[in-house]
Amino acid sequence: MTARRQRPDRSVLLATIASILCLVVAPSVGADEKKTDVETLQALVREWINLQGQLQEEETRWQEQKAHLEMTLTLLRKEKASLDQAIASANKKRDESRSERERLSREIAAAKAPPAQMDKAIQEQGRRLLAVHDALPAPLRKPLSGASTRVRAALFGKKGDWTLPERLQLMVAFAADLDRVLGAVHLVKQVLDVGDSGAREVDVLYLGGAVGYYISPDGRESGLLTRGGKGWTRTARNELAPAVRRAIAVFRKERPAALVDLPVEVRTAGNVSHDTKSEKRP
């Protein structure tokens, strides 16, 4: 970085100019008596012009140095922002690595557990996974039918048909399959009883296993499908038809991606409240 150059002190220059001007009114003595008033004034003007030129040069150099310093400061700020971002990314990766190490440690500890404890843990985990699976709507359970059948056989069939590592591997794979279903958006055809129209095949857009939005082919019937303690419940909301139609068109890539206002039910402590809130879904 170029060292900052000190700007010229204007008070010094002004004092010098004042001293020179004083010569105009001061009585001339010695050799100065030979100079005429015109020559003296010409000398003063030349000196004044020289001083003005020096002052302008100093001002120009100062502006150039100032611009250079400002540019350097801007670059330093950008570099600092980049470093801050790199530090934040490193911290995030560190936290992810710590979580992964903890997960692996739990798996290793579980692998070293006595067979009886391992068998009990697999049974409990398997039942929980099946409960999640059975709570899904029928169209979302269909792709998992083969995996769920094997899990039931491993849990409730003959013990000798499945080894402990085989059952553990089966549960891990089944959990991954459920996670993919719960974390995705699904558009399916489903037969529903939509009131006066009776049972009809409708399009249903499921957000994982949380909520579904249905619409009839003619667009007249629309509403929500929500999961409760006694299975899935249909709530007619015909005013949602335009929004559901837009969401399905975006999902099918028939129109550009956009935000669509769709209601969701608020769940607290395992219960579903009757209040709804509007939430934007892409």
264 found inside a domain: yes
Burial of 13 (0-12, 13-18, 19+ CB in 10 A): middle
Write down the pLDDT at residue 126. 92
Measuring CA to CA, which residue among 48, 39, 42 is closest to residue 19? Answer: 48
Question: At 217, which amino acid appears?
Answer: P
34 with 65, same domain: the answer is: yes
Query: Does residue 243 sit within a domain?
Result: yes
pLDDT of residue 3: 45
Question: In this predicted structure, what is the pLDDT of residue 12?
Answer: 52
Do the beta carbons of residue 215 and residue 222 sit within 8 Å? Answer: yes
| Residue pLDDT tens, the chain, 282 long | 444 445 555 555 555 555 555 554 444 444 455 457 778 777 888 888 888 888 888 889 999 999 999 999 999 998 888 888 888 888 888 888 888 888 888 888 766 666 778 888 888 999 999 999 999 999 999 999 999 999 999 888 877 778 888 888 999 999 999 999 999 999 999 998 877 767 889 999 999 888 999 999 888 899 999 988 778 888 899 999 999 999 999 999 998 988 888 887 655 434 444 344 433 333
Residues 119 and 108 in one domain: no
Domain assignment present for 2? no
Give CA 80 to chain center in angstroms: 21
Dist CA 71 CA 91 (whole Å): 30
Which pLDDT score is estimated for 268? 44
- Dist. CA 205–CA 202, nearest whole Å: 10
pLDDT for position 10: 53
Beta carbons of 224 and 231 less than 8 angstroms apart:
no
Q: What is the pLDDT of residue 271?
A: 45
Residues 13, 107: one domain? yes
Check whether residue 15 and residue 94 sit in a common domain. yes
230 and 164 belong to one structural domain? no
Whether residues 63 and 141 fall in one domain: no
Total structural domains within the chain: 3
The reply to whether 59 and 75 lie within a common domain is: yes
Q: Please check whether residues 78 and 130 belong to one and the same domain.
A: no
Identify the pLDDT of residue 21. Answer: 52
Q: What is the pLDDT of residue 96?
A: 87
Long-range pairs for 45-50: beta carbons < 8 A, 24 or more residues apart: 47/20, 48/17, 48/20
Which residues, 6+ apart, have CB-to-CB distance to 110 below 8 Å? 118, 121
Q: Among 112, 138, 162, which residue terminates a domain?
A: 112
Structural domain including 62 reads 8-112
Looking at the structure, do residues 269 and 198 belong to the same domain, yes or no?
Answer: yes
- Asked if 96 and 23 sit in the same domain, the reply is yes
The answer to whether residues 65 and 123 belong to one domain is no
Mark whether 212 and 167 lie in a shared domain. no
Residue 227 covered by a domain: yes
In a domain, 15, yes or no: yes
pLDDT score recorded for residue 280: 37
Burial of 167 (0-12, 13-18, 19+ CB in 10 A): buried
Q: What is the 3-state secondary structure (H, E, C) of the chain?
A: CCCCCCCCCHHHHHHHHHHHHHHHHCCCCHHHHHCCHHHHHHHHHHHHHHHHHHHHHHHHHHHHHHHHHHHHHHHHHHHHHHHHHHHHHHHHHHHHHHHHHHHHHHHHHHHHCCHHHHHHHHHHHHHHHHHHHHHCCHHHHHHHHHHHHHHHHHHHCCHHHCCHHHHHHHHHHHHHHHHHHHCCEEEEEEEEECHHHCEEEEEEEEECCCEEEEECCCCCCEEEEEEECCEEEEEECHHHHHHHHHHHHHHCCCCCCCCEEEEEEEEECCEEEEEEEEEEEC
* Per-residue model confidence (pLDDT) at position 111: 67
